[in-house]
């Protein structure tokens, strides 16, 4: 058994697709539209076979807590991407910072031995960047 994909709601579908394509090498499939529900989505494929579905509807409820800095709530906590090296973590973190994306966890070695940083995507979802 394996996870087929993870899905994320967004108010700005095209912006979020571009973020994952630019920084994480995602390959978007064709856009799906359901005119009855005004539902739109893309499946993004990653090099290792992982898939992310980004979805939008016009009446999406707002996020109940401030994204990124504390305010933990039930539900998904973060998406994690592996760069394969410490240098890759550092470089991608700096690329995101220079592009104006918020870094909420500087590159560091965690207590459980991982080297990682944490950034926010354009919707405020936590993105963990690891070796």
Tokens of 80: 């994690």
Residue of 88, 76, 74, 5 whose CA lies nearest to 42: 5
- Give yes or no for a contact between 77 and 71, defined as CB atoms under 8 angstroms apart: no
According to the model, what pLDDT value does residue 111 have? 85
Q: How high does pLDDT run on average in the chain?
A: 90
* pLDDT higher at 12 or 62: 12
In the three-class reduction of DSSP (H, G, I as helix; E, B as strand; rest coil), residue 20 is classed as helix
Tell me the two tokens of residue 109.
Answer: 């070695």
- At 64 the pLDDT is 64
Q: Write down all domains in the chain, each with its CATH number in brackets.
A: 1-58 (3.10.180.10), 77-131 (3.10.180.10)
3-state secondary structure of 64: coil
41 forms beta bridges with 32, 55
Helix (H, G, I), strand (E, B), or coil: what is residue 85? coil
23 vs 52: CA distance, rounded Å: 14
């Amino acid at each position: 058994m394996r996870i087929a994909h993870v899905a994320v709601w967004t108010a700005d579908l095209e912006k979020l697709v571009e973020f994952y394509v630019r920084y994480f090498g995602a390959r978007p499939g064709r856009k799906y539209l359901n005119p009855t529900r005004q539902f739109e989505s893309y499946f993004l494929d990653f090099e290792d076979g992982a898939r992310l579905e980004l979805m939008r509807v016009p009446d999406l409820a707002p996020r109940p807590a401030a994204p990124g800095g504390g305010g933990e709530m039930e539900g998904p906590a973060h998406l994690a991407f592996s760069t394969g090296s410490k240098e890759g973590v550092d470089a991608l973190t700096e690329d995101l910072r220079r592009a104006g994306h918020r870094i909420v966890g500087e590159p560091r070695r965690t207590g459980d031995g991982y080297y990682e940083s944490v950034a926010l995507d354009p919707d405020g979802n936590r993105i963990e960047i690891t070796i």
